Structure 1
Amino acid sequence: MNGYYDMRCVASQVCALLAGGGYAEKVAVAEGQVLPVPPGISLKDAASFPEVACTVWSTIFMTSRLSKGETLLIHGGSSGIGTFAIQIAKYLGSRVFVTAGSEEKLAFCKSIGADVGINYKTEDFVARVKEETGGQGVDVILDCMGASYYQRNLASLNFDGRLFIIGFQGGVSTELDLRALFGKRLTVQAAGLRSRSPENKAVIVAEVEKNVWPAIAEGKVKPVVYKSFPLSEAAEAHRLMESSQHIGKILLVA
């Protein structure tokens, strides 16, 4: 969301992590969830950052603690979250694997920093991950699929690997074999932004401003906006999103 935030009677351009209700011309936002528009970024493009930046930073870095030199697998690499995660993970020194459903999408992911692209329609991502890592597996997985990828995700992790689930596109129920967790000392976690308290969101936003905003200012992380729609065409924007033809973010502009 974009807009103006009055502070000491000075109008400042800002973007914000909303609690919901972003399909509007005006919104009320808690002070702790407001971010300055990054230098060199338009007000409209800045709207593409807060949700994805807070999701990626809170999951991959604050919780799963991806560090320099480690490997990251992102499912849905061409999505808004995926394209952001690729860029910030590369900026911080990780090797990045992505899955996507077309060669066009994989080519784009590689153009913004992904090291290994896996077409999930034609390749077994577990086998490819093992091949690319000398049989070890990756250190962290950011997963939007849920149940349908659960067992394969565990098989793709290295010792002390961390799986973070942020979506359930592949279902919510699956069988769990605890031996897979014990054998490799794996960690499985899940969370969303919407249910977090304003205090917790403020902590995440502060971390994003401190650690992510400099990368944007340096031009190392760029907005990836596929198309913008006026608010009156929200239904058309949803049709495009459901078609899964887009790469990056779809914006509604009030």
Structure 2
Amino acid sequence: MSETMMAAVQEGRGVQIREVARPVPGPREILTRNHAASLNRADLGMAAGHAHGAAGGAGSLIGLEWAGEVVATGAEVTRFRVGDRVMCGGLGGYAQYGKVDERRAMALPSSGMGWQEAATLTIALRTMHDALRLNGGLKAGESVLILGASSGVGLMGLQIARLLSASVVLGSSTTQEKRGRLAEFGATGTVDTSAPDWSAQVLDATGGRGVDLVVDMLSGPGTNETMRATAITGRIVNVGRLAGARAEFDFDLHALRRIRYIGVTFRTRSDDEVGGIISAVERDLGPALAEGKLRLPIDRVLPLSSAQEALDEMKANRHFGKIVLDCS
């Protein structure tokens, strides 16, 4: 096995494909021969030189999600063996090889699943199961709104909400064409958040009550409108800040509606915490995954050498679902 590999490396305001040292797994890490990597919004910040957790800046390897075959294991690894097919969430996925703590990896759920499909799943599964079930406390029969539903993570959220027997599952997008496709992934209705009073659409869909649970990947200036769309004693789980990290917050509205406002991120979670979430995903969603009931559309596949082009495509926001890099 060569001691070097090709990988996307942060440089200036973008990435370059370079030959770098192949990673060496630590005691609880696995080394994978990567076959495919999937793009995520956080990759844009890393590619621009912004830190993600402890990583970031010039020379950093890019990519939070990939799928591949285990080719080496650390001395303390117990979950996987050489030859296992895995999908991973870590750092440095846009590369021919990747290393990750075993607690942040999952076995491919079926023998028939391809590398490209597997590369799209890990982050969406753990993010949305954590938001809907572990933090959102979703119960059968409750109503859900996914803000930013046309993203890969959002599309997975719609599917998981239906799998967990939500009665109403609403998804938002500002693009009519994308809203038109949300029903394919479990949405019972859609919301156009470009309208200034879009909460009225949610109230109409819920008999004036509002939704029990909002998974918010937008935040920003629309937060007060989100609270107006939330039922009294409902919950909002703040997953992302795509519309802005700061905005005016109506504390009186928050109190009047007695909303539980919950913030989540994976950037400050330990390997043990992430491992616990992965175990919950495998327990609750494993059968549906194995049966192909949870999936994400792949908008396009580009070679690893076109990593910067792929990032530019994601930044332009013209895609629906996931953009994937072929790392083979």
* Structure 2 length-normalised TM: 0.73
* Cα shift at 1:104: 1.6
* Cα shift at 1:123: 7.0
Q: Which amino acid aligns with 1:108?
A: R
Tell me the secondary structure at the aligned position of residue 29 of structure 1.
strand
C-alpha offsets along residues 77-99 of structure 1, whole Å, 9 cap, x if unaligned?
A: 11011111111111111121011
Indicate conservation of the 8 Å contact 1:14/1:43, yes or no.
no
Q: Name which of 140, 144, 156 aligns with 1:72.
A: 144
* Cα shift at 1:178: 2.4
Q: Name the structure 2 match of 1:171.
A: 244
Q: Whole-Å Cα distance in 2 between the matches of residues 62 and 16 of structure 1?
A: 20
Q: Name which of 244, 248, 254 aligns with 2:317.
A: 244
Q: Whole-Å Cα distance in 2 between the matches of residues 9 and 76 of structure 1?
A: 37
Alignment CA distance shift 1:42-1:35 (3 Å): same
Q: Name the structure 2 match of 1:84.
A: 156
Q: Which amino acid aligns with 1:34?
A: A
Moved over 4 A (4+): 6-10
Identity %: 29
Task: Find out whether 1:17 has 2:89 as its counterpart.
Answer: yes
Q: Name the structure 1 match of 2:284.
A: 211
Q: Whole-Å Cα distance in 1 between the matches of residues 81 and 147 of structure 2?
A: 44
Q: Which amino acid aligns with 1:3?
A: G
Q: Name the structure 1 match of 2:131.
A: 59
Q: Whole-Å Cα distance in 2 between the matches of residues 201 and 129 of structure 1?
A: 33
Q: Which amino acid aligns with 2:95?
A: A
* Cα shift at 1:194: 2.7
RMSD: 1.7
Q: Unpaired segments of 5 or more residues in structure 1?
A: none
Q: Which amino acid aligns with 2:97?
A: K
Task: Find out whether 1:50 has 2:122 as its counterpart.
Answer: yes
Indicate conservation of the 8 Å contact 1:139/1:162, yes or no.
yes
* Cα shift at 1:54: 0.8
Q: Name which of 200, 225, 231 aligns with 1:158.
A: 231
C-alpha offsets along residues 123-148 of structure 1, whole Å, 9 cap, x if unaligned?
A: 73200001111110001111122221
* Cα shift at 1:173: 2.0
1:195-210 alignment, distance < 5 Å: 195-210=268-283
Alignment CA distance shift 1:9-1:153 (3 Å): closer
Tell me the secondary structure at the aligned position of residue 56 of structure 1.
helix
Indicate conservation of the 8 Å contact 2:80/2:102, yes or no.
no
Q: Whole-Å Cα distance in 2 between the matches of residues 92 and 31 of structure 1?
A: 27
Tell me the secondary structure at the aligned position of residue 208 of structure 1.
helix
Alignment CA distance shift 1:15-1:151 (3 Å): same
Q: Whole-Å Cα distance in 1 between the matches of residues 149 and 133 of structure 2?
A: 17
Alignment CA distance shift 1:114-1:29 (3 Å): same
Q: Which amino acid aligns with 1:16?
A: C
Q: Name the structure 2 match of 1:33.
A: 104
The structure richer in helix per residue is 1
Alignment CA distance shift 1:180-1:69 (3 Å): same
* Cα shift at 1:150: 0.9
C-alpha offsets along residues 141-169 of structure 1, whole Å, 9 cap, x if unaligned?
A: 11122221110111110022111112222
Larger relative contact order (CA 8 Å, sep ≥ 6): 1
Indicate conservation of the 8 Å contact 1:46/1:223, yes or no.
no
Indicate conservation of the 8 Å contact 2:121/2:295, yes or no.
no
Return the index of the structure with the highest Cα Rg: 2
* Cα shift at 1:59: 1.4
C-alpha offsets along residues 100-141 of structure 1, whole Å, 9 cap, x if unaligned?
A: 122221121112210111223357320000111111000111
Q: Which amino acid aligns with 1:62?
A: L
* Cα shift at 1:8: 7.6
Q: Unpaired segments of 5 or more residues in structure 2?
A: 1-65, 73-78
